[in-house]
A and B are shown apart, each in its own frame.
Chain A
Amino acid sequence: MILSRRKLIGIGAAGAGGLLLGGCDRLNDSETFRGVLGGATGLNQRTQRLLMGNSLAKEFTEADISPAFKPNGSTSVGNPAYKAQLAGGFADWALRIDGLVKQPLLVPLSALKTMPQRIQITRHDCVEGWSAIGKWQGPQLGTLLAQAGLLPSAKYAVFHCADVLEGAPYYESIDLVDAFHPQTILAWAMNGQPLSEPHGAPIRLRVERQLGYKQAKYIMRIELRDTLAGLYRGKGGFWEDSRGYQWYAGI
């Protein structure tokens, strides 16, 4: 009844292999283990913020623009009110900014186009792995938020969108670090043309140091909030709620 070293090593190796293959799915389903993995997500955000400071995303030249920019997620909006606005060039449409602000605003598209503008040629990285380079134009989000005047309790800017995916309204959110970053703009033009419907007309968010799913399209309203809890499923965005993508999408 002596287990030889040979046997022990064999049992150990087989056990380790079995644990690995069978155990990963069990671990993946465990809330505790997901919490541990999620802890690394928070660590990633803090580390990146520390390393990034207020640095800018790389900006490219006209020659670098992708021949075709892939539209993804929602590429059209179903509701009739939106369709009517689209047909009329969003002439009597206005962006609403409200929530934890001193002065709620209604900003017509014409005002967004005549405010001080930022033009940037940047790379859009989808969480799936592909990239496309495009030229974006619009006012900085920070300018608009300064006009509305944030209350001290405001911590997040939430973007409420016109599109509905899988039965749920699309929304996204960023914190004030990204909201006031110089490259964070509300783009109404792409590659020199007003935004098309597949790319998010009338305006979409560009938050250039994060992935594509943060770049909310069809923005109708920006709400300033102190917490993301209590809004839809509480994770701060459509893909965060529906699939469990990380809220911080700097990776």
Chain B
Amino acid sequence: MIKDDLSKIVSQAREKILSSVDSNVLNDIRVAVLGKKGELTSILKGMKDVPEDERPKVGALVNDARKAIEDALCEKRKALEALELSRRLSREKIDVTLPARRLRKGHPHPNTLALSEIRKIFTGMGYEVVDGPDIELDYYNFEALNIPKGHPAKDEQDTFYINKEILLRTQTSGVQVRQMEKRKPPIRMIAPGRVFRADEVDATHSPVFHQVEGMVIDKGIRFSDLKGTLEGFAKKLFGEETRVKFRPHHFPFTEPSAEMDVSCFKCGGKGCRFCKGEGWIEILGCGMMHPKVLSMSGVDPDEYTGFAFGLGLERIALLKYEIDDMRLLYENDTRFLSQF
């Protein structure tokens, strides 16, 4: 009798479980069948009417029934969960091509970008990065660099003066002198900095611009070392395939002096609009430290030799990033700056 009841309960429950479509219904079934007032529980309550010796057998039957129902519930629940998950996943499909949400980061100035490349190359070779004042004594800007009084380069039309002795530096080369006064060789340094020339603002001129000065002093420094160093620099800055050319030139504070051209990094030297058909682009001035400059700053030219170089930061930035108007560098239009 009980056995029949049980199998009926199980089969009915199974039927309900199989046909249910959500987990709440499963829960109702669980309560209705297995709960405190559930069908199975009421059968257990009727155990007291079962003869003592049959009770274990009946108990086992009830347990089997419970297990069967629980298994069915569990199985169905898993199936429902899987179904629900797959529904949710398909419901939650997004259009991955919609625009990204990004933190809007700021951008470096092209000068800074160029300088950080240059700085990286030279600090990697053991150069120290130093600086000097923008407002400088005539002595450091001219005289100690072998540009004596009366030299045309000192003419007012090129140099901004504060008074007879104090001026806005026209070159970073004065830092060479300050460093030689400050420390003993060996010295390897670069000195980026702001310089000033009395040029009206136009597409290729600015009264304010930046240079990077470099200087090496040690025993036995040769012109060939200068060539090696700067060729290495050019290859790192513009690419391994870059070729360099040193042309004789004149600067009062170096002797011999040279200008360095690099093969055009746009056309590789074939000649293009960018290098004006030359295949070469002038990049920097350099030379062996003039013995007079060394001795004026307290370095014995019979014991030490050295080389120095200077390049225009804006020139590098304009070339590297193909900027065709220098004025853009100082306008600070965010549409320009955000490209770097």
Asked if A and B are interacting partners, one says no
